[in-house]
Amino acid sequence: MQSRIAGFMMLLATATMTLIVPCAAQEDTLKIKTSQIENAEIIIGMEFIPSERDSMLDDLNYTLGLYEDLRDVSIDNSVSPALIFSPLPPGVRPTREQKPPVYSPIGEVKRPENLEDLAFYSVRELAELIRTRKVNSTELTGLCLNRLKKYDPQLHCVITLTEELAFKQSARADSEIAAGNYRGPLHGIPYGAKDLLAVKGYKTTWGAMPYKDQMLDYDATVIKKLEGAGAVLVAKLSMGALAWGDVWYADTTRNPWNTEKGSSGSSAGSASAVSAGLVPFAIGTETWGSIVSPSTVCGTTGLRPTYGRVSRAGAMALSWSMDKIGPICRSAEDCAIVFDAIRGPDGVDMSVIDAAFNYNYNIDLKNLRIGYLKEDFDNDTSFAESNAATLNELRQLGVELIEIKLPDLPIDPMQIILSAEAAAAFDELTRSNRDDLLVRQIKNAWPNSFRVSRFIPAVEYIQANRIRTMLIAQMAELMADIDVYVSPSWEGDNLLLTNLSGHPCVVLPSGFDEGGEPTSITFIGRLFDEATVLAVAKIYQDATDFHKKHPPLFK
């Protein structure tokens, strides 16, 4: 019996050696080895046992080959993933019953003796002057171009002037209006566009050195829609390189209230140019604060629409499930006018949902349930004085503020969704090492972020999106009892959370800090209900005059 057991043990040992030795020899020929798996475990926060690592080898090396095959395909930034994000919870569909927008009465607007005074007129006021032919589009366009040329050396907010196109569009507007063909409140109004929007015949640089000579032979949908509304494009405005911050390949865009400081970003030039009275309105984009932040710093009013409201066709992609396009203006009602022109499907961006925009300025705040993030207001020391004044003003307007709390979920960790999608959008830039051409090469900048994001496991990206689904459901429960809520613009989780959930917001000036620079407040609305949140913001602006204050150096 003992001899039989001994023989079996010897046979087992021999078989084990037969299995182990060839694997060891085979591993020498593989690119990925078990020791590298063990090291990688630290990066992904996992731990496997030796037999599990050994089992992974063949599949990991095979998958590496699949990556290499995929990388042989050239993928343009304009190609979106097959997966489409929707901010709508199950069973919810926005209304499609469209009513005419109801704007506040404008009254008589007179042409000023000095045309330069028009620099800080609102879109509403300029539209009335053009409609009544007291001012024509060509002279207003000339005014904007002259101011852009005069003040850009101080602000660095312009990448490209579109002068030839502008005068062509303004001449057409004047001709049409003279013939009685008035298209609406944007007809003949000059504007600027963030330079991630393609415009045929002009460079689209994305603010980044690797793309500074890039020419795209088409117009972005937003550009087309604004041209259809009769607006006049006068400039492509600066943006932080690849939509981060206010540093672009030529300089840093400046804050008109303090030109020693940057204008924040990434819609840096859009906010700076509107604030300084260089254009009546501009188009910006937001993924995580790129409208809210520069609007705060520059004292402008910005609308970040619901995700899926405005087509991003022809716009640089950074995060397909988070990018949003919206207007930066001088007032909430100006934002309503511009938004009405750019919203809606185009048949290209399949994430866009057809929904009505029934703006009516004449609402009763007492009929609305308006919440506020008390804990965030208590914690916000940066804008404490103006925050308190804003809440007091709303109460004086008859608002009974309701204390609310946002969903208790890990919001900050979900930023990996943006990081992973951005790294994919600029994968070729990273692999080609052309990311070395970007101006900012610090740790907290795109080149390093793109490289770090290569190590985000696909499983964690999916898990983050599953938590995002939970967030959408919990926000739906919260907003079922609230029409609008008020939040500090930067404090707490609200900014990232609502960019993930897709909710619309209006950011607007709320006062000035001790240094005389603007502060802001943010109103958040229900999904696809920009009409209500804009109307609430307008009532607040009608009761205050912060949006009518302008930087002294540019008057």
Q: Which residues are catalytic?
A: 194, 263, 290
Q: Rounded distance, CA 310 to CA 305, Å?
A: 8
User: CA 294 to CA 427: how far, in whole Å?
Assistant: 27
Q: Does the N-terminal peptide bond of residue 266 adopt cis geometry, omega within 30 degrees of 0?
A: yes
DSSP-derived 3-state class of residue 479: helix
CB 119 within 8 A of CB 277: yes
- H helices within 28-73, ranges in order? 34-44, 50-71
Q: Which two tokens stand for residue 251?
A: 């300089």
Query: Using CA of residue 448, residue 452, residue 454, residue 459, what is the dihedral sign?
Result: negative
Cα 271 from Cα 255, distance rounded (Å): 9
| CB of 352 closer than 8 Å to CB of 346 | yes
CA pair distance 256, 505, nearest whole angstrom: 24
d(Cα 19, Cα 47) in Å, to the nearest integer?
24
- The whole-angstrom separation of Cα 513 and Cα 383 is 7
In this structure, what are the phi and psi dihedrals at residue 302, rounded to the nearest 5 degrees?
-125, 145
3-class secondary structure, 415: helix
* Amino acid letter, residue 223: I
Cross-strand partners of 233: 191
Rounded to whole angstroms, what are the CA distances from 321 to 456, 460, 545? 17, 16, 36
The identity of residue 357, as a single letter, is F
Assess contact for 358 and 348: CB atoms under 8 A: no
CA distance linking residue 248 with residue 181, whole number of Å: 40
CB 104 within 8 A of CB 323: no
Closest CA relative to residue 190, chosen from 204, 205, 171, 176: 171
Q: Which of 345, 332, 296, 322 is nearest to 425 (CA)?
A: 322
**DSSP conformation class of 289:** S
- SS3 readout for 109-155: CCCCCCHHHHHHCCHHHHHHHHHCCCCCHHHHHHHHHHHHHHHHHHH
- 163-202: burial string, b at 16+ Cβ within 10 Å, e else: eebbbebbebbbebbeeeebebbbbbbbbbbbbbbbbeeb
Q: Point out which residues pair with 232 in neighbouring strands.
A: 190
Comparing CA positions, the residue from 299, 230, 248, 240 lying closest to residue 267 is: 240
